[in-house]
C-alpha cells in the first residue's frame, strides 16, 4: 500500500507546454519549445531540504534547481544548452552519462574541464545524438555529491515514437544513507568499499515512497527506470500486466525481452513498455525481486472507462536504435581485467611532491581495486596515468571484460554506446548499453566503433569501487 498516490499527466500534456517548467507528480518536466528552437536553461547546483520516506525531518539533499529529482526533456539532434551555476560549498561539474557528445562536454573534473568552483559557472552545449533515457551527475567526490542526491534525468525525445504510449513516467531509484532524523550517515565505509559497496538505509522512488500510478484500463505506459544509486543492484519483476517488456536498455531501443529477472546495476536504465489490463481496478506491481521478500517499486492501478480494449494495437517496441554498428569480424580484440588493487606508492609520492592532498584528487585515501593491474591514481592538475588502450576513431573493437573479483561490477564507458555481444555465464541477447554488469568469474564481450576523439573514462559505477581504484580511460584519436 502506498501512502502517496498521484494521477499521471499524459505524454501529450508534457509536450504541450512552452519552455516553462511545471510539476508532474514528484518529478518535474521541462518541455522543449515547439518549433525546434534550442532548449536552453540554467542548472543551479545547490542544497535543498527534502523529506525522505520514513524520516521525521527534512534531509539537506544536493540537487539541481531545488527540485528532486529534476527531469529534463529535450529533442534528439536539437541544440541544447545548460549553464551550470555552482551554489554548493564544494567544486563540481556535470557528466552527461551515456551521451555521445564531444569530449570537452563530458564533464569530468580535472580531466575534460577545470572543476567549477563555488560561485562559478560553466556552459554545456551540445545536440544529443541519440534518443533515450539518460541522466547526469558530478564526477569528482561522487560518493558524497551523488550520495547527497546530486543528479538529474535527461530524457531525449524521439519524434519517431510519438503516439506509441499514453503515459511516459520516469522512475528514479535511489537509496539514502540517512538516519530517521534526516541527517546523513557516512557515505562510505572501508568494509563496503572493499566489498559490494555501502548500502543506503532508506530506499526511494523519485525521492519518495513507491508511487501508486492511476491510469485508464487498457492504457499503454512507458516506464523509464533510472538507477542512480551508488551501490544497489535491483532485479526487476513485474506482475499483473496484460503485456509488458523491456523495450530499451540504457536508453537504447532493443528487441523486447521479458522484464522478470533483469538486473539494473548503478547507472543502468531500463525502459519498460506496459499494457494495462482492460478492466477497471486491475493492479500491476513493479518490484525488486532480488531478495526473497520482493520490494515494491511502483504500483499501477486502472480506474475509469477503458482507454483501449485488447485487440489491434501497435507492437510494444521502439523504432530501431541508430548507432554505429561494430564490424565483429574486423574488430581488434582487447582484454580488460577487473581485479583487486593496491595504493601506488608513486601516487603518494607525487601528491607529496606537488603539495596536493589525496582528498583533492577525487579519490578516497584507500585503494581496493584495479583495471588491468593499474589502480586509478586520482585526478589532479598534471596527474594522469597512461590510457588503458589507444584506439583509432571509426575502427571496431571488442573488449572482453573479465571479473576476477568476488563482486559484481557495472562497468561504464564514457562517450560510447557499445553492444553487449557475449558472456561466459549466460546466453546474451545482444543489446546496446553504456553500462554492463559483470558478475564474478564472468567474461563479457562488448563491441563498439571508436567514436569521437578524446580520453574516455571507463570505470565501475559502484561509486566506491570507482573512487578506490576501479577506473581508467581509453584514448581515441
| Interaction mask 81-110, ligand C2O, x per CB under 6 A | --------------x-x-------------
**What is the size of the binding site for Cu ion (CB under 5 A)?**
4
> What distance in Å separates the CA atoms of residue 2 and residue 172, rounded to the nearest whole number?
16
The partner in contact with residue 11, picked from ligand C2O, Cu ion, none with C-beta cut-offs of 5 to 8 angstroms by kind, is none
Choice from 316, 457, 470, 474 touching ligand C2O (CB under 6 A):
457
Q: Which of 101, 462, 463, 471 binds Cu ion (CB under 5 A)?
A: 462
Of 203, 269, 414, 431, the one binding ligand C2O (CB under 6 A) is 414
Q: How would you list the strands of the sheet with 80-86, edge to edge?
A: 59-64, 39-50, 80-86, 121-126
Q: Which one of ligand C2O, Cu ion, none interacts with residue 299, CB within 5 to 8 A by kind? A: none
Q: How far is the CB of 146 from ligand C2O (least distance, A)?
A: 9
Interaction of residue 269 with ligand C2O, rule CB under 6 A:
no
The CA–CA distances, whole Å, from 411 to 197, 252, 343, 404, 462 equal 14, 17, 21, 14, 9
Nearest distance, CB of residue 471 and ligand C2O, angstroms: 8
- Residue from the set 177, 269, 299, 409 that interacts with Cu ion by CB under 5 A: 409
The least distance separating ligand C2O from the CB of residue 97, rounded to whole angstroms, comes to 4
Residue-wise burial string across 33-56, b where 16 or more C-beta atoms lie within 10 A, e elsewhere: eeeeeebebebbbbbbebebbebe
| Antiparallel, parallel or unpaired: β 332-340 and 369-371 | antiparallel
414 binds, among ligand C2O, Cu ion, none (CB under 5 to 8 A by kind): ligand C2O
Question: Could you say whether residue 471 binds Cu ion (CB under 5 A)?
Answer: no
Q: Restricting to residues 137-166, which ones interact with ligand C2O according to CB under 6 A?
A: 137, 139
What pairs with residue 59 in β-bridges? 50
CA atoms within 13 A on the CB side of 52: 25
Which of 224, 443, 459, 465 lies at the binding interface for ligand C2O (CB under 6 A)? Answer: 459
Give min distance, CB of 243 to ligand C2O, in A.
31
Residues near 271 by Cβ (< 8 Å), separated by ≥ 6? 132, 133, 222, 223, 224, 225, 246, 247, 248, 251, 318
Q: Quick check: 231 and 293 in contact, CB under 8 A?
A: no
Residues 294-353 interacting with ligand C2O (rule: CB under 6 A): none
Alpha carbon separation from 17 to 31, 45, 97, 234, 286 (Å, rounded) = 6, 25, 26, 34, 30
Per DSSP, 208 falls in state B
Q: Is residue 445 near ligand C2O by the rule CB under 6 A?
A: no
What are the residues binding ligand C2O (CB under 6 A)? Answer: 95, 97, 137, 139, 267, 412, 414, 457, 459, 461
What are the residues binding Cu ion (CB under 5 A)? Answer: 409, 460, 462, 465
Amino acid at each position: 500500500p502506498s501512502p502517496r498516490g498521484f494521477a499521471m499527466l499524459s505524454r501529450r500534456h508534457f509536450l504541450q507546454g512552452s519552455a516553462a517548467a511545471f510539476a508532474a507528480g514528484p518529478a518535474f518536466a521541462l518541455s522543449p519549445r515547439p518549433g525546434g528552437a534550442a532548449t536552453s536553461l540554467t542548472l543551479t547546483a545547490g542544497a535543498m531540504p527534502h523529506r525522505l520516506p520514513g524520516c521525521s525531518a527534512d534531509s539537506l539533499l544536493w540537487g539541481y534547481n531545488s527540485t528532486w529529482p529534476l527531469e529534463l526533456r529535450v529533442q534528439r539532434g536539437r541544440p541544447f544548452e545548460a549553464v551550470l551555476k555552482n551554489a554548493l560549498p564544494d567544486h563540481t561539474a556535470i557528466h552527461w552519462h551515456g551521451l555521445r557528445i564531444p569530449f570537452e562536454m563530458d564533464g569530468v573534473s580535472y580531466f575534460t574541464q577545470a572543476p567549477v568552483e563555488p560561485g562559478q559557472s560553466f556552459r554545456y552545449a551540445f545536440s544529443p545524438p541519440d534518443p533515450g533515457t539518460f541522466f547526469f551527475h558530478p564526477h569528482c567526490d561522487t560518493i558524497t555529491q551523488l550520495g547527497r542526491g546530486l543528479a538529474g534525468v535527461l530524457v531525449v525525445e524521439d519524434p519517431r515514437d510519438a503516439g506509441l504510449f499514453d503515459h511516459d513516467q520516469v522512475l528514479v531509484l535511489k537509496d539514502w544513507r540517512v538516519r530517521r532524523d534526516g541527517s546523513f550517515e557516512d557515505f562510505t565505509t572501508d568494509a563496503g568499499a572493499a566489498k559490494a559497496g555501502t548500502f543506503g538505509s532508506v530506499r526511494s522512488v523519485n525521492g519518495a515512497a513507491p508511487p501508486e500510478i492511476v491510469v485508464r484500463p487498457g492504457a499503454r505506459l512507458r516506464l523509464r527506470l533510472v538507477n542512480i544509486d551508488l551501490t544497489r543492484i535491483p532485479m526487476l519483476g513485474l506482475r499483473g500486466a496484460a503485456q509488458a517488456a523491456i523495450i530499451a536498455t540504457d536508453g537504447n531501443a532493443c528487441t523486447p525481452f521479458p522484464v522478470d529477472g533483469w538486473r539494473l546495476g548503478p547507472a543502468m536504465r531500463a525502459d519498460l513498455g506496459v499494457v494495462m489490463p482492460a478492466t477497471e481496478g486491475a493492479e500491476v506491481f513493479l518490484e525488486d525481486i532480488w531478495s526473497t521478500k520482493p520490494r515494491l517499486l511502483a504500483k499501477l492501478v486502472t480506474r475509469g472507462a477503458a482507454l483501449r480494449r485488447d485487440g489491434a494495437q501497435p507492437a510494444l517496441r521502439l523504432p530501431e536504435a541508430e548507432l554505429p554498428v561494430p564490424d565483429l569480424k574486423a574488430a581488434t580484440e582487447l582484454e580488460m581485467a577487473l581485479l583487486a588493487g593496491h595504493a601506488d606508492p608513486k601516487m603518494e609520492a607525487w601528491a607529496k611532491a606537488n603539495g596536493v592532498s589525496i582528498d583533492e584528487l577525487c579519490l578516497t585515501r584507500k585503494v581496493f581495486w584495479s583495471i588491468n593491474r593499474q589502480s586509478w591514481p586520482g585526478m589532479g592538475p598534471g596527474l594522469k596515468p597512461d590510457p588503458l588502450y589507444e584506439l583509432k576513431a571509426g575502427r571496431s573493437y571488442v573488449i572482453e571484460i573479465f571479473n576476477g573479483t568476488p563482486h559484481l561490477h557495472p562497468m561504464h564507458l564514457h562517450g560510447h554506446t557499445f553492444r553487449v555481444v557475449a558472456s561466459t555465464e549466460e546466453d546474451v541477447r545482444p543489446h546496446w548499453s553504456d553500462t554492463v554488469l559483470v558478475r564474478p568469474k564472468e567474461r563479457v564481450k562488448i563491441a563498439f566503433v571508436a567514436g569521437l576523439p578524446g580520453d574516455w573514462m571507463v570505470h565501475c559505477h559502484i561509486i566506491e569501487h570507482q573512487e578506490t581504484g576501479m577506473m581508467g580511460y581509453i584514448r581515441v584519436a
